[in-house]
Chain A
Amino acid sequence: MTDTATRDDAELIAAVRRGDEAAFAGLVDELTAPLTRLALAHVPSRAVADEVVQDTWVGVIRGIDRFEGRSSLRTWIFQILLNNARSRGQREKRTLPFSSLRRHDPEGRDEPAVDADRFQGRRGEYPGHWARPPVEWDSPVERLAGDAAREVMLTAIASLPERQREVLTLRDIQGYSAEEARNALELSETNQRVLLHRARSKVRTALERHFDSEAGR
Protein backbone atom coordinates (compact mmCIF):
# COMPACT_ATOMS: atom_id res chain seq x y z
CA MET A 1 0.00 0.00 0.00
CA THR A 2 1.47 3.35 -0.94
CA ASP A 3 0.45 6.83 0.09
CA THR A 4 -0.99 8.11 -3.11
CA ALA A 5 -2.99 6.39 -5.79
CA THR A 6 -0.86 4.25 -8.10
CA ARG A 7 -1.39 3.31 -11.72
CA ASP A 8 -2.94 0.00 -10.62
CA ASP A 9 -5.22 2.06 -8.43
CA ALA A 10 -6.21 4.24 -11.38
CA GLU A 11 -7.29 1.20 -13.39
CA LEU A 12 -9.17 -0.22 -10.43
CA ILE A 13 -10.88 3.11 -9.73
CA ALA A 14 -11.94 3.42 -13.37
CA ALA A 15 -13.26 -0.15 -13.30
CA VAL A 16 -15.31 0.41 -10.16
CA ARG A 17 -16.68 3.65 -11.63
CA ARG A 18 -17.82 1.70 -14.67
CA GLY A 19 -19.53 -0.77 -12.35
CA ASP A 20 -17.12 -3.59 -13.28
CA GLU A 21 -18.22 -6.43 -11.01
CA ALA A 22 -15.09 -8.56 -11.31
CA ALA A 23 -12.83 -5.68 -10.29
CA PHE A 24 -15.07 -4.74 -7.40
CA ALA A 25 -15.41 -8.36 -6.25
CA GLY A 26 -11.61 -8.62 -6.21
CA LEU A 27 -11.43 -5.63 -3.90
CA VAL A 28 -14.16 -7.03 -1.66
CA ASP A 29 -12.40 -10.39 -1.40
CA GLU A 30 -9.08 -8.77 -0.61
CA LEU A 31 -10.33 -6.33 2.01
CA THR A 32 -13.23 -8.04 3.76
CA ALA A 33 -11.09 -9.77 6.39
CA PRO A 34 -8.96 -6.75 7.39
CA LEU A 35 -11.96 -4.40 7.29
CA THR A 36 -14.06 -6.73 9.42
CA ARG A 37 -11.26 -7.17 11.96
CA LEU A 38 -10.77 -3.45 12.14
CA ALA A 39 -14.50 -2.88 12.56
CA LEU A 40 -14.43 -5.38 15.41
CA ALA A 41 -11.89 -3.14 17.11
CA HIS A 42 -14.79 -0.71 17.60
CA VAL A 43 -18.09 -2.52 17.66
CA PRO A 44 -19.10 -5.29 20.01
CA SER A 45 -20.37 -7.97 17.67
CA ARG A 46 -19.70 -9.68 14.41
CA ALA A 47 -23.19 -8.82 13.15
CA VAL A 48 -22.61 -5.10 13.68
CA ALA A 49 -19.12 -5.36 12.14
CA ASP A 50 -20.63 -6.97 9.03
CA GLU A 51 -23.08 -4.08 8.74
CA VAL A 52 -20.27 -1.55 9.10
CA VAL A 53 -18.31 -3.30 6.33
CA GLN A 54 -21.34 -3.42 4.06
CA ASP A 55 -22.00 0.29 4.70
CA THR A 56 -18.38 0.88 3.76
CA TRP A 57 -18.82 -0.80 0.38
CA VAL A 58 -21.91 1.29 -0.24
CA GLY A 59 -19.86 4.37 0.71
CA VAL A 60 -17.12 3.31 -1.69
CA ILE A 61 -19.53 2.86 -4.59
CA ARG A 62 -21.26 6.16 -3.83
CA GLY A 63 -18.06 8.09 -3.35
CA ILE A 64 -15.81 6.63 -6.03
CA ASP A 65 -16.78 9.29 -8.60
CA ARG A 66 -15.61 12.00 -6.24
CA PHE A 67 -12.46 10.17 -5.08
CA GLU A 68 -9.50 12.31 -6.11
CA GLY A 69 -6.64 9.91 -5.46
CA ARG A 70 -4.95 12.01 -2.82
CA SER A 71 -4.44 8.84 -0.86
CA SER A 72 -4.25 5.30 -2.18
CA LEU A 73 -7.56 3.64 -2.95
CA ARG A 74 -7.12 1.22 -0.05
CA THR A 75 -6.25 3.98 2.43
CA TRP A 76 -9.38 5.80 1.35
CA ILE A 77 -11.50 2.68 1.87
CA PHE A 78 -9.97 2.13 5.32
CA GLN A 79 -10.82 5.72 6.24
CA ILE A 80 -14.45 5.20 5.26
CA LEU A 81 -14.53 2.02 7.36
CA LEU A 82 -12.90 3.72 10.34
CA ASN A 83 -15.33 6.63 10.23
CA ASN A 84 -18.26 4.23 10.11
CA ALA A 85 -16.87 1.93 12.79
CA ARG A 86 -15.87 4.73 15.17
CA SER A 87 -19.21 6.49 15.03
CA ARG A 88 -21.07 3.21 15.27
CA GLY A 89 -18.87 2.21 18.20
CA GLN A 90 -19.58 5.52 19.94
CA ARG A 91 -23.29 5.03 19.57
CA GLU A 92 -23.15 1.48 20.94
CA LYS A 93 -20.91 2.57 23.80
CA ARG A 94 -23.41 5.13 25.04
CA THR A 95 -25.66 2.30 26.05
CA LEU A 96 -22.92 0.65 28.12
CA PRO A 97 -22.71 1.79 31.75
CA PHE A 98 -18.96 1.71 32.36
CA SER A 99 -17.63 3.45 29.29
CA SER A 100 -17.07 6.67 31.24
CA LEU A 101 -14.60 4.89 33.49
CA ARG A 102 -12.12 4.42 30.67
CA ARG A 103 -8.55 5.59 31.17
CA HIS A 104 -7.80 9.28 30.78
CA ASP A 105 -5.27 8.99 27.96
CA PRO A 106 -7.14 7.45 25.04
CA GLU A 107 -3.91 6.70 23.20
CA GLY A 108 -2.41 5.20 26.31
CA ARG A 109 1.00 6.57 25.52
CA ASP A 110 2.15 7.23 29.04
CA GLU A 111 2.03 3.70 30.38
CA PRO A 112 5.12 1.55 30.86
CA ALA A 113 5.36 -1.79 29.05
CA VAL A 114 5.87 -3.56 32.36
CA ASP A 115 4.62 -2.46 35.80
CA ALA A 116 7.21 -0.39 37.61
CA ASP A 117 7.03 -2.66 40.65
CA ARG A 118 8.53 -5.52 38.67
CA PHE A 119 11.85 -3.64 38.72
CA GLN A 120 14.19 -2.79 41.56
CA GLY A 121 13.83 0.69 42.94
CA ARG A 122 16.58 3.23 43.44
CA ARG A 123 17.64 1.57 46.65
CA GLY A 124 17.78 -1.89 45.18
CA GLU A 125 21.02 -3.70 44.51
CA TYR A 126 20.62 -3.20 40.76
CA PRO A 127 18.25 -0.25 40.24
CA GLY A 128 16.12 -0.58 37.12
CA HIS A 129 16.82 -4.28 36.77
CA TRP A 130 14.27 -7.00 37.31
CA ALA A 131 12.99 -7.52 40.83
CA ARG A 132 10.55 -10.16 39.57
CA PRO A 133 11.71 -11.25 36.12
CA PRO A 134 9.30 -13.03 33.78
CA VAL A 135 9.27 -16.81 34.09
CA GLU A 136 9.41 -18.91 30.93
CA TRP A 137 6.04 -20.27 29.82
CA ASP A 138 5.58 -24.03 29.65
CA SER A 139 4.68 -25.41 26.19
CA PRO A 140 3.74 -21.97 24.89
CA VAL A 141 2.98 -23.08 21.34
CA GLU A 142 0.28 -25.56 22.36
CA ARG A 143 -1.15 -23.38 25.08
CA LEU A 144 -1.27 -20.20 23.02
CA ALA A 145 -3.37 -22.08 20.50
CA GLY A 146 -5.84 -23.19 23.18
CA ASP A 147 -9.24 -21.68 23.94
CA ALA A 148 -8.22 -20.29 27.33
CA ALA A 149 -5.29 -18.26 25.96
CA ARG A 150 -7.45 -17.16 23.07
CA GLU A 151 -10.03 -15.79 25.51
CA VAL A 152 -7.29 -14.03 27.48
CA MET A 153 -5.96 -12.38 24.30
CA LEU A 154 -9.41 -11.34 23.09
CA THR A 155 -10.26 -9.83 26.48
CA ALA A 156 -6.94 -7.97 26.59
CA ILE A 157 -7.51 -6.63 23.08
CA ALA A 158 -11.02 -5.52 23.95
CA SER A 159 -9.76 -3.44 26.84
CA LEU A 160 -7.06 -1.64 24.82
CA PRO A 161 -7.50 2.03 23.92
CA GLU A 162 -8.99 2.40 20.45
CA ARG A 163 -5.89 3.35 18.50
CA GLN A 164 -3.80 0.63 20.08
CA ARG A 165 -6.50 -1.89 19.23
CA GLU A 166 -6.55 -0.74 15.62
CA VAL A 167 -2.80 -1.02 15.18
CA LEU A 168 -2.54 -4.38 16.92
CA THR A 169 -5.40 -5.74 14.84
CA LEU A 170 -3.81 -4.83 11.54
CA ARG A 171 -0.22 -5.62 12.45
CA ASP A 172 -0.38 -8.74 14.58
CA ILE A 173 -3.69 -10.36 13.76
CA GLN A 174 -4.08 -9.40 10.13
CA GLY A 175 -0.33 -9.53 9.47
CA TYR A 176 -0.02 -6.16 7.74
CA SER A 177 3.42 -4.57 7.41
CA ALA A 178 4.21 -1.41 9.37
CA GLU A 179 3.79 0.64 6.21
CA GLU A 180 0.46 -0.91 5.29
CA ALA A 181 -0.90 -0.35 8.79
CA ARG A 182 0.43 3.20 8.88
CA ASN A 183 -1.29 4.04 5.62
CA ALA A 184 -4.54 2.33 6.47
CA LEU A 185 -4.74 4.14 9.80
CA GLU A 186 -3.06 7.38 8.67
CA LEU A 187 -0.49 7.29 11.44
CA SER A 188 3.09 8.50 11.56
CA GLU A 189 5.76 5.83 11.66
CA THR A 190 6.63 6.63 15.26
CA ASN A 191 3.03 6.69 16.41
CA GLN A 192 2.32 3.40 14.77
CA ARG A 193 5.24 1.84 16.59
CA VAL A 194 4.45 3.38 19.97
CA LEU A 195 0.84 2.21 19.79
CA LEU A 196 1.92 -1.27 18.73
CA HIS A 197 4.44 -1.38 21.55
CA ARG A 198 1.88 -0.51 24.21
CA ALA A 199 -0.68 -2.91 22.81
CA ARG A 200 1.69 -5.89 22.54
CA SER A 201 3.07 -5.25 26.02
CA LYS A 202 -0.40 -5.37 27.49
CA VAL A 203 -1.36 -8.57 25.73
CA ARG A 204 1.88 -10.16 26.95
CA THR A 205 1.12 -9.05 30.50
CA ALA A 206 -2.37 -10.55 30.29
CA LEU A 207 -0.94 -13.85 29.02
CA GLU A 208 1.71 -13.81 31.73
CA ARG A 209 -0.93 -13.37 34.44
CA HIS A 210 -2.92 -16.21 32.94
CA PHE A 211 0.00 -18.64 32.60
CA ASP A 212 1.43 -17.71 35.99
CA SER A 213 -1.88 -18.27 37.70
CA GLU A 214 -2.32 -21.61 35.95
CA ALA A 215 1.13 -22.58 37.18
CA GLY A 216 0.16 -21.49 40.70
CA ARG A 217 2.64 -18.63 40.69
Chain B
Amino acid sequence: MSTATDEMTCREFVELVTDLIEGQLAEGKRVEALAHLAECDGCATYLEQIHQTIAGLRRLADVDDFPRNREQALAALRELKRTK
Protein backbone atom coordinates (compact mmCIF):
# COMPACT_ATOMS: atom_id res chain seq x y z
CA MET B 1 0.00 0.00 0.00
CA SER B 2 1.15 3.47 -0.74
CA THR B 3 0.15 6.89 0.44
CA ALA B 4 0.88 8.85 -2.72
CA THR B 5 -2.41 10.21 -3.97
CA ASP B 6 -1.63 9.90 -7.67
CA GLU B 7 -0.98 6.19 -7.39
CA MET B 8 -3.62 3.63 -8.19
CA THR B 9 -5.99 2.71 -5.39
CA CYS B 10 -7.35 -0.78 -4.74
CA ARG B 11 -10.77 0.50 -5.62
CA GLU B 12 -9.49 1.50 -9.06
CA PHE B 13 -7.51 -1.70 -9.45
CA VAL B 14 -10.49 -4.03 -9.04
CA GLU B 15 -12.27 -2.20 -11.86
CA LEU B 16 -9.31 -2.75 -14.21
CA VAL B 17 -8.93 -6.47 -13.55
CA THR B 18 -10.88 -7.64 -16.59
CA ASP B 19 -9.09 -5.25 -18.93
CA LEU B 20 -5.81 -6.46 -17.46
CA ILE B 21 -6.64 -10.15 -17.94
CA GLU B 22 -7.95 -9.50 -21.44
CA GLY B 23 -4.81 -7.62 -22.40
CA GLN B 24 -6.81 -4.48 -23.12
CA LEU B 25 -5.14 -2.00 -20.80
CA ALA B 26 -3.17 0.84 -22.34
CA GLU B 27 0.53 0.43 -21.64
CA GLY B 28 0.72 3.22 -19.04
CA LYS B 29 -2.24 1.88 -17.10
CA ARG B 30 -0.89 -1.63 -17.33
CA VAL B 31 2.40 -0.60 -15.78
CA GLU B 32 0.55 1.24 -13.01
CA ALA B 33 -1.72 -1.73 -12.36
CA LEU B 34 1.19 -4.17 -12.18
CA ALA B 35 3.11 -1.82 -9.89
CA HIS B 36 0.09 -1.66 -7.60
CA LEU B 37 -0.31 -5.42 -7.72
CA ALA B 38 3.30 -5.99 -6.73
CA GLU B 39 2.78 -4.05 -3.52
CA CYS B 40 -0.74 -4.96 -2.55
CA ASP B 41 -1.56 -8.37 -1.08
CA GLY B 42 -5.28 -7.65 -1.05
CA CYS B 43 -5.37 -6.95 -4.78
CA ALA B 44 -3.13 -9.95 -5.52
CA THR B 45 -5.63 -12.13 -3.67
CA TYR B 46 -8.48 -10.44 -5.50
CA LEU B 47 -6.93 -11.11 -8.91
CA GLU B 48 -6.21 -14.70 -7.94
CA GLN B 49 -9.83 -15.16 -6.88
CA ILE B 50 -11.05 -13.80 -10.21
CA HIS B 51 -8.87 -16.40 -11.96
CA GLN B 52 -10.24 -19.08 -9.63
CA THR B 53 -13.77 -17.90 -10.37
CA ILE B 54 -13.16 -18.19 -14.11
CA ALA B 55 -11.76 -21.71 -13.63
CA GLY B 56 -14.79 -22.63 -11.52
CA LEU B 57 -17.19 -21.31 -14.16
CA ARG B 58 -15.39 -23.27 -16.85
CA ARG B 59 -15.98 -26.44 -14.84
CA LEU B 60 -19.72 -25.87 -14.97
CA ALA B 61 -19.45 -26.80 -18.63
CA ASP B 62 -17.75 -30.13 -17.89
CA VAL B 63 -20.65 -31.33 -15.82
CA ASP B 64 -23.33 -30.33 -18.28
CA ASP B 65 -23.90 -32.84 -20.94
CA PHE B 66 -25.95 -32.08 -23.94
CA PRO B 67 -27.33 -35.18 -25.55
CA ARG B 68 -27.24 -34.39 -29.22
CA ASN B 69 -30.54 -33.10 -30.43
CA ARG B 70 -29.31 -34.06 -33.84
CA GLU B 71 -32.07 -36.46 -34.81
CA GLN B 72 -34.80 -33.97 -33.99
CA ALA B 73 -33.06 -31.22 -35.95
CA LEU B 74 -32.44 -33.51 -38.92
CA ALA B 75 -36.07 -34.56 -38.89
CA ALA B 76 -37.01 -30.90 -39.23
CA LEU B 77 -34.63 -30.55 -42.16
CA ARG B 78 -36.16 -33.56 -43.95
CA GLU B 79 -39.67 -32.33 -43.23
CA LEU B 80 -39.04 -28.87 -44.62
CA LYS B 81 -37.19 -30.19 -47.65
CA ARG B 82 -40.22 -32.28 -48.49
CA THR B 83 -42.61 -29.36 -48.23
CA LYS B 84 -40.41 -26.79 -50.02
- Taking beta carbons and an 8 Å cutoff, which residues of A are in contact with B? 16, 19, 21, 24-25, 28-29, 32-33, 36-37, 50, 53-54, 57-58, 61-62, 112-114, 116, 119, 126-130, 133-137, 140-141, 144-145, 149-150, 153-154, 168, 172-175, 178, 193, 196-197, 200-201, 203-204, 207-208
Contact = CB atoms under 8 A, between A and B. Distances in A.
B32 interface: no
B76 A144 contact: no
Interface in B25-44: 40-43
Interface of B: 1-3, 9-12, 14-15, 17-19, 22, 24, 40-43, 45-46, 48-50, 52-61, 63-64, 66, 68-70, 72-74, 76-78, 80-81
Contact of B58 (A29, A136, A172): A172
A197 B18 contact: yes
Nearest to A59: B76
Given A28-B69, A28-B70, A113-B14, A153 B56 contact: yes
B3 A207 contact: no
Given A32-B69, A130-B10, 7 more contacts: A21-B78, A28-B68, A129-B9, A133-B45, A141-B52, A150-B60, A173-B58
Contacts of B54: 172, 200
Given A178-B22, A208-B49, A61 B70 contact: no
Contacts, number: 153
Given A54-B72, A134-B46, A137-B52, A144 B41 contact: no
A151 B58 CA distance: 14
Contact of A136 (B19, B45, B72, B73): B45
Contacts of A119: 9-11
A134 B49 contact: yes
Contacts of A28: 68-70, 73-74
A53 B59 contact: no
Among A116, A172, A207, find the residue whose CB has the most chain B CB atoms closer than 10 A. A172
Contacts of B74: 21, 24-25, 28
A21 B77 contact: yes
A214 B74 CA distance: 48
B56 A129 contact: no
A34 to B, nearest CB: 10
